Amino acid sequence: MTNNEKFLDLYNQLENLIRQTYGPMSSAVAFEISLLRRSRNQREQNLAEDLDSIRLLRNFLVHTAKVDNENLANVNYHLIEVLEEIIAHIENPPHAFDKAIPENKLFRGYLDSSVKEIMTDMHVKGYSQVPILDRENHLLGVFSESVMASYLLRNNEIISFDNLTMKDLMDYLPIHKHSIERYLVLNRYATVEDMAEEFSESKKKHGKRLVMGIFTDNGRADGHVIGAIVPSSLFED
């Protein structure tokens, strides 16, 4: 099989794969180009531009490939490699968990953790949210500035932080009780593309910013926490 023949065969495979993955459409490759261009990953943006050039070359080869039975253009093998990379990208999309903070590196608190100490660490390390777990790594909630604000607004008396623990804030910690921020529990197979959409569309769809995705071993809130992801780690190249 010549490079030109392999190129056209791979292009047809790509078109079919896009339609199988995303549904029937007339311009499958143009659709994939638009997806790659929206990515914040530089490699995927580069693939979008390569694929746009490939689309133009494919149309040229199909409609005016030969004159007097001679090829007017011969495909560079690099373009075949690009097509193979894009096909592999669709067949095995990158998982958000691969970009997550793993459980053993996750800054967390427990019900007996000192609120003052957690807040000090948050300030020093630049954290905005801290998952609160039990000793078996089940998610109990998330501590954030909004949790502290809610607690202070309800408790008007002067509060000493010296003996305050996360247990005292338990009414405000569960993720469904956060009024201005949103948290999402995920399984390890959530894709980067799906996670990126969740982060970018959350405010419009749910009225609250999605600030953290929390991975559990069973993808449910009653599972063991195995990692977490925030927008800054998802969109790193």
pLDDT tens digits along 149-189: 998 888 877 677 788 999 999 999 999 999 899 999 999 99
Q: What are phi and psi of 129, to 5 degrees?
A: -135, 145
CB atoms within 10 A of CB 130: 25
**Are residues 115 and 69 part of one domain?**
no
Q: What are phi and psi of 139, to 5 degrees?
A: -75, 125
According to DSSP, residue 162 is labeled: T
Is the pLDDT at 92 greater than 70? The verdict is: yes
pLDDT at position 160 is 76
Which tokens go with 93? Answer: 């999309």
Looking at residues 12-31, what average pLDDT do you find?
A: 91
Is the pLDDT at 46 greater than 70? The verdict is: yes
**Are residues 142 and 185 part of one domain?**
yes
Order of strands, edge to edge, in the sheet holding 101-102? 101-102, 225-229, 209-216, 181-186
Packing angle of the helix pair 42-64, 77-91 (nearest 10 deg):
120
pLDDT at position 237 is 54
Is the pLDDT at 235 greater than 90? The verdict is: no
Per-range mean pLDDT, top range of 52-56, 57-61, 196-200: 52-56
Sign, CA dihedral 195-200-205-208, equals: positive
Domain holding 150, by residue range, is 98-234
Residue that is last in its domain, among 35, 58, 91: 91
Amino acid at 157: E
pLDDT at position 35 is 85
According to DSSP, residue 222 is labeled: T
Q: Which of 77-91, 117-131, 146-160 has the lowest mean pLDDT?
A: 146-160
Average pLDDT of the chain is 90
Residues of the chain with pLDDT > 90, as a percent, come to 65
**Are residues 154 and 80 part of one domain?**
no
Residue that is last in its domain, among 72, 91, 110: 91
Domain count, the chain: 2
**Are residues 107 and 75 part of one domain?**
no
Name which residue leads in pLDDT, 223 or 200. 223
Q: Is 95 helix (H, G, I), strand (E, B) or coil?
A: strand
The answer to whether the CB of 88 falls within 8 A of the CB of 13 is no
Q: Which residues pair with 229 in a beta bridge?
A: 213
**Are residues 138 and 221 part of one domain?**
yes
Residue that is last in its domain, among 57, 91, 125: 91
Phi-psi region of 101 (alpha: psi -120 to 50; beta: other; left: phi over 0): beta
Name which residue leads in pLDDT, 224 or 21. 224
pLDDT at position 73 is 76
E strands along the chain, which residues?
A: 66-67, 70-71, 101-102, 129-133, 139-144, 181-186, 209-216, 225-229
Q: What is the rounded radius of gyration, in angstroms, for the C-alpha atoms of the chain?
A: 25
pLDDT grade, residue 60 (50/70/90)?
confident
pLDDT at position 69 is 66
- Which has the closest alpha carbon to 138: 220, 211, 200, 78? 220
Q: Is 31 helix (H, G, I), strand (E, B) or coil?
A: helix
**Are residues 102 and 87 part of one domain?**
no
pLDDT grade, residue 236 (50/70/90)?
low
